[in-house]
Chain A
Amino acid sequence: MAAEQVSLRNVGKIFSSGQPPAPLHALGPIDLDLKRGEFFAVVGPSGCGKSTLLEIIAGLTPATEGTVEFEGKPIAGESPDGIGVVFQEDASLPWLNVSDNVAFGLRRSDLSDRDKTDRVHNALQLVGLSDFATSYPAQLSGGMRQRVCIARTLVMQPSLILLDEPFGALDQQTRLLMGDELLRMWRETGATIFLITHALDEATMLADRIAVMSARPGRLIDIVETGWPRERDSRIIEHAEFGVITARLWKSLREESLKTIGRARAAPSSKP
């Protein structure tokens, strides 16, 4: 088995349909390899195409240029088996209770009912929601609902988990704790994690490698290796290297973020 689980070659996305300013060059060219089992994070200024990149890997939107391979096979048209996605928005199903929400992830599986129940049970335990199996999402907090979505993804036992700013809507303390849980799940499942975030400290705390994206069209301008041990948790923020890495990310990102803001400010008046 190749060490690369996902490989992107020359991937780009141009939106040619729709209103002007079309065509819009949103992304690329991007070359990227994700190693099996690593925790990879992407940071970038808003509107740089981070989510588009994730959707391309997930098979939700096709790349207009280049090739994307997952487990050595090109991703074309639909989402391949073995990829799970957790979105920023709450994707729990409000008409099902927590346990049925998680079991929904197994709708297409041909496991026996008993195996399904076991898997749901394990996934709920992994995200710490065993006591809430019969609650409805509306009765849970935002962080817990996001954990329901994570459990629904885990129950499918994906080898690659894509996370699109999953903690973006949560408060800072909850995010740190969710980060701990995410690290624990990552170790226990052995899956590869691809995390998109706008929080630099979150990326530094969680990832083995962090890619920095440029302003639109999004390209990878830097890849930082954190060198953290596999056994780690949120207390890593006390580490001396933590500040150094976060500072390096910001250094690469600052100029790009300014471009995004500058563009927005320059739009109303033509004078600099």
Chain B
Amino acid sequence: MRRATIYRLLVVAAAIGLLEVLCLTGVIDKITMQAPHLIVRDLFRMLVSGRLNGAIMKTLTNTLLALGLALSVGIVVGAILHRYRALRDTLDPLFATYYAVPIFAFYPFFLVVFGLGDLPQILIAFMLGVVAVIVNTLNGLDRVPTVLLKTARIMRLSSMDTALRMTLPAAAPYILTGIKLAVAYAFIGVIGSEFIMSRGGIGYEISFAYTSFDNATMYPLIVLILLASITINAGLSRWEERLLARRGLR
């Protein structure tokens, strides 16, 4: 293990240890927060009892749907815009200012139009992620060396083969950056909207537990989200590192 990794783990362990001590000594009272070891115990009990499995599944499914939508639409739109310069020049300024728009402001509107189902949450998560994917796909395609495209023409590869065997792999490290952002945005979008108004999901359950002083549900759910998000991101980062190392970029 690298030294930096060890230090990092030590910092996290120290923070949890400090929290444990503060909770056990009563500096943080029970109504505010449970001690970390109790949170882990409650999380374990909650998962075993299966009480909230429905909510967890709902959130994960919606997140995955939003992510899949953001990735497929984002990469395809990115590829199309890369080909049509005029269209891209038209839309570029919109992409640059896109993240200045508070996407959640559209949520009430979506609720009115689509009702209180899953769709409004998926849409919000999709809207948060899709532009990051488009922008990073464009960036990746811009960086494909011309000499590779010339090579594809010398080999007379079909345009499909060129896209799948040359352009996409060459742009992959940059597209991956967009994917990582989209994962984070998908979680934020779905859980955030569940908080605001919905009929279920992890966000809804956290908010419900919060209003009913149910710490034994609220904290374990927060930890669960953290674990899910960190696991996915760590997996992607490892993949990215392998990809970059192979290319001598890291």
Contacts and interface: CB of A to CB of B under 8 A. Distances in A.
B247 interface: yes
Contact of B150 (A85, A90, A94): A85
A147 B145 CA distance: 18
A89 B155 CA distance: 17
B156 A105 contact: no
Interface string B140-151: 000001111011
Contact of A107 (B157, B243, B249): B157
B246 A95 contact: yes
Chain B interface mostly: helix
Given A95-B169, A95-B172, 4 more contacts: A85-B151, A85-B154, A105-B155, A138-B247
A171 B156 CA distance: 32
Contact of A60 (B148, B153, B157, B246): B153
A138 B246 contact: yes
Given A79-B156, A89-B145, A107-B155, A136 B150 contact: no
Contacts of A90: 147
Interface string B108-132: 0000000000000000000000000
Interface in A188-244: none
Contact of A91 (B151, B157, B172, B243): B151
A86 B176 CA distance: 30
B165 interface: yes
A105 to B, nearest CB: 7
Contact of B151 (A81, A87, A137): A87
Interface residues on B, range: 20 to 34
Interface string A99-130: 00000110110000000000000000000000
B161 interface: yes
Contact of A138 (B156, B157, B248): B248
Contacts of B148: 91, 93
Residue of A81, A85, A90, A137 contacting most chain B CB atoms (<10 Å): A85
B155 A136 contact: no
A83 interface: yes
A131 interface: no
Nearest to A78: B156
A81 B157 CA distance: 12
Given A91-B148, A95-B247, A139-B248, A108 B154 contact: no
Contacts of B155: 79, 104-105, 107-108, 156
Contacts of B243: 95
Nearest to B151: A91
Nearest to B148: A91
B161 A60 contact: no
A190 B249 CA distance: 39
Interface string B231-250: 00000000000010011110
26 contacts: A58-B154, A60-B153, A78-B156, A79-B155, A83-B154, A84-B154, A85-B151, A85-B154, A87-B151, A89-B147, A91-B145, A91-B148, A91-B151, A93-B148, A93-B166, A93-B169, A94-B246, A95-B243, A104-B165, A105-B155, A107-B165, A108-B156, A136-B248, A137-B248, A138-B246, A156-B155
Nearest to A96: B169
A16 B34 CA distance: 75
Nearest to A140: B248
